Structure 1
Amino acid sequence: MSSHDDTPTEASTYPEKEPGTISEKDNESDGIEHVRPANDDAVDTNFQAGVQNIEAVTVTWSMTWLVIAYALIWIIYFIQGLVSGVTGALLPYVTSAFALHSLTPTVGILSAVIGGVTNLSIAKILDIFGRPQGFVFCIVLTVLGLIMSAACNNVEAYAASQVFYTVGINGIGYSLSVFVADTSSLRNRGLMQAFAASPNLITCWLAGPISTSFLDGAGWRWAFGMFCIIVPVVTLPLFGLFQYQYSRAKKAGVISKRESGRTTCQSIVYYTREFDALGLFLISAGVAFFLLPFNLYYQQAKGWRSALIISFLVVGILLLIAFVVWEAFFASISFFPFALLRDRTVLGAGILSFTLFISNSCWALYFSSVLQVVFDLSVTHVSYVVQIQTVGSVLTSLAGGAVISYTGRYKPISLYFGVPITALGMGLLIYFRHPDQSIGYIVMCQIFISFASGVLIITDEIAIMAAAVEQQYFAVSIAVLGCFGSIGSAIGLTISSTIWQDILPKKLALYLPAEELPNLVMIYGDLTTQLSYPPGSPTRLAIQHAYGDAQKLLVIAGTAVWVLGFLAVFMWRDIKVTGIKQTKGTVA
C-alpha cells in the first residue's frame, strides 16, 4: 500500500474524447499504450458529489483507517460469500418444496435481468448521493429479500423475494468493488480486488455443511432468517466508517457544503431525469418479457402458439425497441452510457463479461442436482465440488493481480491463458459429464475452468477501468460490466431452462421403466423424488441417463459461446496500467 501514487496524470475529458485518445504512446518501441498523468491531490469539484466525497475521504484519512476499511471489506465479502453459497445450495430444495424443481433457472432470470440493469441505477446513487448511501440502500434490499424468502409460501413469492435479494446482494458486492477501486491505484487494483474476495477460500467449505444442517434440522426457511440478522450487523460498520471519515473531511474544509436550491418537486423531477427512470423500466421489462417465454412455454397447453407466450415476446421486443428510441432521441440523461462503449476496450470488456456469465449459466445451475442424482454425492460433498471453481478462481486472481502489479499488463495473460484454458475445460466437460465417468474427471475440468476464470474476472475489470481513466467513471464502468454479465446470465439461464425443460421429460419418458411412467411428472419436477430411488435401481439409472443427455447439450452451448470470448480480448488495447493515476490521497 502507498499513501500516494507517484506517477502524475493528465485529467481526461472522456467520453468527449474520441475512442483511443485517452492515452498516448510515450514509448513507441514497446508497442504498449502509456498514459501521461498529472499530479493534483485536490478534490475535483467538476466531479459528481459522491465522487468528490470519496476523494475527500482518501485525501484526509490515514493509512491506519485504510487498513481498517479493508479489514471490514474483507469481513463483508466473507459474509456475502457465505450467504450466496448457502442460498445457492438451498435453491433446488426451495423450488422442489413446491414440486417445481425444473423452474430453478426461471426463478433466477427475472432477478438476474433486474439485478444487472439496476446496478447502473445504483451507480447513479453512488455518484450522486455518495458511496455509503448506495451501500446502505443495497443492505436494505438484501435484508428485505431474505425476509421474503423465509416467509414465502409458493414459488412465485420466492421468485419475487429473489429480485430484492439478488439486486441487494449483488449491489453490496458491486459497492465493495467501487470502494476498492476508489481506494487503490490502478496498478494494484487487481491484487486488492483479489485480496478482498479471498474470504471465498474459507466460505466455500462452510456453505455445504451449513446448508445440510438446516435441511436436516430447522429447515431452509431458518437459514434465510439467520442471514436477515447477520447481514446488517456485519455490513453497517463499513457504512459508519465512511460516513465518519466524510464528516472529518468536511470539518477539515476539504469539501464545502452544497446547496441545490431546488424545491421538493424540482428535486423529484431532477432525480427522475438523472436516474433515467423510464429507460430503466423499458430495458428491465423488455428483457424480462422477451426471455421469460423461453422458460414458460412448456406450461402452456399450446406451447409457442399460446396467446400468453406470443404476447410476452411481442411486448418484450416492442419495449426493447422503445428503449433504444428513448435513449437515442428523447432521454436528456442516458441511462446506459452508450458513449462509453465507443471505446473498443470498454466494449470488449463488456463482451467478455457477457461470455463468462452466459457460459457459466448454461450449465452451472443444474450442476448441484447432477452431482447428487448422477454421482450420488451428499449436499456437503456437492458443495465441495461446486466450490472448487471458487477456490481456484480466488487463487489465480491473486496470482493474476500480482502479475499485473509487477508487469503493468493485463491483456497477454487473458489472451494466452485465461480464454484458451476456459475453452479447454469446457470442451473436456462435454465428454466427462456422462453418468459412467469418474467424478475425478469432473473435478479436473472444474480446476481448469476455475484457474482461467479467476484471471479473466480480474483482467476484465482492469481493462474497462484502464480505458475509462477518470475516477468519476469507476462506478458506471463496473456497472456496465455487471449489466453485460447479468444479461449474459439471463440468456444462459434461458438456454439452460429451455434445453432442460425440452430434453429431460422426453428422455425420462424414453428411459423410465413402464411401471414408473405414471410418476413421470413428479420425478421430473422434484429433486427429492429423484433421489428417493436407490443408486443402481432401474429407475435411478434411467434418471441418470436422462440427466446425462440434457447436460451434454447444456455444456456444448456453454462451450460454443467462447468464440465471443476470444473476440472480446482481441478487441482490447494493451494499455500499460503502471502509467495511470486515477485516485488521490492515501490509497492501496
Structure 2
Amino acid sequence: MPGPLGAAEFPTEQEHKARQLSIGGEKNINLSETHQGVSLDSDVEALEKEDVQYGVKAVEATAIVWSRNALIGAYAAIFLVFFVNSFLQQTSYTFTLYVTSSFALHELTATTAVMSQIIGGVVRLPLAKLIDIVGRTEGYLAALTCATIGLIMMAACNGVELYAAAQVFYWVGYNCMGYTLDVFIADTSSLKSRGLMFAFTTAPYIATTFAGPALGQEYLDHSTWRWGYGSFAIITPIICAPVALIFWINKRKAKKAGLLTKVPSGRTWFQSVKFYLIEFDFIGVLLICAGFVMFLLPFNLAAGSASKWNSPDIIALLVVGIVCLIGFVLYEKFVAPKPFIPFELLLDRTVLGACILAATLFVSFYCWDGYLLSYLQVVWNLKPKSAGYIYNTYNLSSCAWGIIAGLLIRQAGYIKRFAAAAMPLMFLGAGLLIHFRQPDQSVGYVIMCQVLIGVAGGTLVICEEIAVLASGAHENVATLLALIGMFSSIGGAIGLSVSAAIWTNIVPGEIAARLPADSAVTAAELYASAITVLTYAPGTPERNAVIGAYAVAQRWMAIASTCILVIGVGAIAVWRDIDVRKFKQVKGRVV
C-alpha cells in the first residue's frame, strides 16, 4: 500500500500511459465549438492520444473547457499580479541604497543581488519539472509563498546578511511567480500572439515607473523602508491569490467534464522522496548554484578584504566554485539519471543562440545598472523620487515599445529580422553611455541613452523568448522558458559581479586620492555609506571627491556593457529564420 504521500503522487514518464484522459459520458462543454478556425473537439481527440506529463495535460484540458469570460478573467487577474509586483519593484529600488547604507555597507548594493539572481534563475528548471508533473497552480502557490516570506524577512532584517538571505527568498519567489505565469500565457496563446501577450504582462511598468518611486519617497519621508516591505508582504498575497483560484476552478471543471483523471502512482513515501530527488536533479541544482555563487562572489568581495586576492577566504571560494562547476558538468554528463540541463533542447541552434543572447543582454544591462541610483543621487543631487523616475526610464521605454514590437511580430512573423534590426540600436544606446554618464553632462542625455536601450531591449527580449518557444513542442514550453530564464539570471549575476568588481576596486582608491588631507571624514566612511555622502552639499571637497570617483567607475562599467554586446550579434546570426504565423502549438481556447 502506498504511504500518505504515495496516494497523491504522480507517475514517472513510463507511467504516463496509465493515466490517459477519459473522454466519454456527459460533457459540460460544446465540442463542436470552433476557436481560431479549429474545432475544439479535434483538440479533445488530440488530447486523448497524447503521452505527456500530468501538469501539461491538465492545462490543455483546462484550456478546452473554460469559457471566453474565464480566459479574460484569468488574464485580468494576471495583469493585477504583474501590476502589484512591478509596483513593489519600482518602490523597493528606492530603498536599496538606504538599506545597505544603513548597515554601512553601501558597496554591497550589487553583491546582495548576486546570489538571488543565480539561485532565482537556476531554480526555474526544477520548477519547470514541478509544474509539468504536478501542475501550474501548485508551482505558482509555492512561488507566492516564497516571495511573501522574503518580504517579511526584508521588513524585519537587522543586518546585511539577513537582508541578502531575504533577497534570495524574495527573488526566487518573484522570478518563479513570473515564470509560472509566463508558462500559463504560453499555454493559452498562439505563437504569433505570444510576443504581444508577453508584452501585455509588462505593461504595468508604464504606470508604476512613476508611482513606485513616489511611494518609495513617501515611505522614506514619513515612515521607514521596513514598513515599505512590510506593507507589500500583506498586499502581495491578497492580490496574487485570485489567479490560483481561477486555475483551480477551471481545473475542477475539466475533471468534471471527464477530460482529466488522476491515477495514484503506487509509490511508498520513501520511493516518492527518491523519485523527486532524481526527477528534480537535486545534486545537479546544488552543484550549479554553489559553483556560480562561490565563483562570482569573490569578484564582489575582494576589495572588502584586507589582503584582497591574497586572502585565503577569497582563494578558497574561487577554487571551490570552479570545482563545483566542473563537477556539475561531469555529473550531468556521466552520472545524473535525469540531467538538470535539457541538452537535447539546448543543442538546437536557435535555442542555444537565444539563450546566449539572453545572458549577453543581462550581463550588459547589469554592468551599468547596479549603482545607477546611487550615482543619480550623489552626482546630480536628485531626490529618491526623481532618481527613481530616471532609473526606471529603461523599464518604461522597453515595456511601452514591447507592445508595439509584439503587434509588429504578430503581423510580420519573422522574429530574426526584428532582432537583427534592434541590435545596432542597443549598441548605440550602450556606447553613448560611455560619454554621457559623466558629471559634466546633462542628465537628459542619460535618459536618452536608456530610452534607446529600452526600445532595443524590449524588442530583443520578446524575440528571444519566441525563438526558443518556436523550437519545441507544447510539452517543452515550461522547460524552454526556464532555460532562457536561467541564462538571463546567470547573465545578470555576472553583470552585477562585473559592476561590483569595478566599483570595489576603483571607487575606494579614487576617493582617497581626491579627498583633501584635512577632511573631517575618511575615504572609508564616504565609500561605505552614500547617505553620509549626501550630507555634504554639492561643491564641497568631500562631495566632489566622491563624484569624481563615481564617474571613473561608471565609465568603465559603460565600456564593459558595450563590449559584451558583440557576443549578441553572433547569437542572433545562428537562429533559424522562423515565421511564427505558421505554428499551431497549443490546444483549446487561446488568444
State the TM bucket, normalised to the shorter chain.
over 0.9
Corresponding residue for 1:22? none
- Structural mapping, 1:414-563, within 5 Å: 414-416=419-421, 418-468=422-472, 470-516=473-519, 518-563=521-566
In structure 1, C-alpha distance between the alignment counterparts of 2:49 and 2:97, rounded to whole Å: 49
Which stretch of the first structure deviates more once superposed, 38-47 or 179-188? 38-47
Q: Which residue in the other structure is 1:178 paired with?
A: 183
1:195 aligns with 2:200: yes
Alpha-carbon shift at residue 516 of structure 1 (Å): 2.3
Decide whether the 8 Å contact of 2:43 with 2:588 is kept in 1.
no
Q: Offset at 1:40?
A: 5.7
Per the alignment, residue 166 of structure 2 pairs with 161
> What is the CA-CA distance between 1:439 and the residue it aligns to?
0.9
Q: Which residue of 1 aligns with 2:109?
A: 104
Partner of 1:30: none
Q: Which blocks of at least 5 consecutive residues in structure 1 are unaligned? A: 9-36
Q: Distance in 2 between matches of 1:414 and 1:257?
A: 43
Mapped to 2, the partners of 1:515 and 1:68 lie a distance apart of 66
> Match of 2:564, as an amino acid?
V
SS at match of 1:514: coil
> Counterparts of 2:45 and 2:370 in 1: how far apart (Å)?
48
Q: Residues 45 and 432 of structure 1: is their aligned pair in 2 closer, same or farther, counting only changes over 3 Å?
A: same
Match of 1:4 among 29, 35, 39: 35
- Are 1:423 and 1:562, in contact at CA under 8 Å, matched by a contact in 2? yes
AA at the equivalent of 1:100? L
Q: Say whether the 8 Å CA contact 1:425–1:448 is kept in structure 2.
A: yes
**Selected match of 2:330 from 313, 325, 346:** 325
- Give yes or no for contact 1:3–1:587 (8 Å, CA) kept in 2: no
CA distance in 1: counterparts of 2:493 and 2:231, whole angstroms: 28
- Give 1:144 deviation, angstroms: 0.4
Question: C-alpha offsets along residues 240-294 of structure 1, whole Å, 9 cap, x if unaligned?
Answer: 1111100110011011222211111111111111100000000000111111111
**1:125 CA displacement:** 1.3
Aligned to 1:139: 144
**How far apart are the structure 1 equivalents of 2:348 and 2:77?**
35
2:89 to 72, 80, 84: 84
Shift of 1:301: 2.3
Alignment of 1:301-380 (within 5 A): 301-380=306-385
Residues 98-153 of structure 1 show CA distances to partners (whole Å, capped at 9, x for unaligned) of 00001111101111110110011111111111001000000000000011111111
Distance 1:44 1:77, change over 3 A: farther
1:577 maps to which residue?
580
SS of 1:163 mapped into structure 2: helix
Moved more, 539-548 or 554-563: 539-548
In 1, Cα distance between equivalents of 2:45 and 2:188:
16
Give the TM-score, by structure 2 length: 0.92
CA distance in 2, matches of 1:192, 1:109: 29
Residues 299-321 of structure 1: CA distance to partner in whole angstroms, max 9, x if unpaired? 22221111111111111111111
Question: Per the alignment, in what secondary structure is the counterpart of residue 42 of structure 1?
Answer: helix
Deviation at 1:185, TM superposition (A): 0.4
Unaligned runs of 5+ in 2: 1-32
Aligned-partner Cα distance in 2 for 1:582–1:419: 28
**What letter matches 1:414 in structure 2?**
A
| Other structure's SS at 1:492 match | helix
One-letter amino acid of the counterpart of residue 546, structure 1: A
Whether the aligned pair in 2 keeps the contact of 1:360 and 1:492 (CA below 8 Å) is yes
Greater CA drift, 224-233 or 512-521:
512-521
1:112-127 equivalences in 2 (<5 Å): 112-127=117-132
User: Could you list the per-position Cα deviations for residues 331-388 of structure 1 after superposition, in whole angstroms to 9, with x for gaps in the alignment?
Assistant: 1111111111110000010011001110111110111111111111111111111111
1:538 Cα deviation (Å)? 2.2
Amino acid in the other structure paired with 2:226:
R
**Distance in 2 separating the partners of 1:390 and 1:350:** 21
- Compared CA separation, residues 5 and 283, structure 1 to 2 (3 A): farther
1:400-443 per-position Cα deviation (integer Å, ceiling 9, x unaligned): 11111111111111102x11101100000100011000111111
Amino acid in the other structure paired with 1:467? S
Q: Map 1:64-83 to 2 at 5 A.
A: 64-83=69-88
Q: Partner of 1:467: helix, strand, or coil? A: coil
What SS does the aligned partner of 1:165 have?
helix
* Alpha-carbon distance change, 44 to 146 in structure 1, aligned in 2, over 3 angstroms: farther
Equivalent residue, structure 2, for 1:58:
63
- Determine if contact 2:426/2:456 at 8 Å carries over to the other structure: yes
- Give the 3-state SS of the residue equivalent to 2:518 in structure 1: helix
Partner Cα separation in structure 1 for residue 507 and residue 85 of structure 2: 33
Query: Quick one: distance in 2 between partners of 1:87 and 1:401?
Result: 29
Counterpart position of 1:150: 155
1:119 maps to a residue whose letter is R
The verdict on how the C-alpha distance between 1:189 and 1:143 changes in structure 2, with shifts beyond 3 A counting, is same
Select the residue among 262, 285, 292 that pairs with 1:257: 262
Please report how far the alpha carbon of residue 7 of structure 1 lies from its aligned counterpart in structure 2 after TM superposition: 7.6
8 Å Cα contact 2:379/2:439 also seen in 1: yes
Query: Which residue of structure 2 lines up, in the alignment, with residue 27 of structure 1?
Result: none
- Identity fraction in percent: 44
Structure 1 residues 559 and 93 mapped into 2: Cα distance closer, same or farther (>3 Å)? same
SS in 2 for 1:319: helix
- Please give the secondary structure, in 2, of the residue aligned with 1:587: coil
Hey, what's the Cα distance between the residues in 2 that align with 1:220 and 1:456?
Answer: 34
Q: Aligned letter for 2:443?
A: I
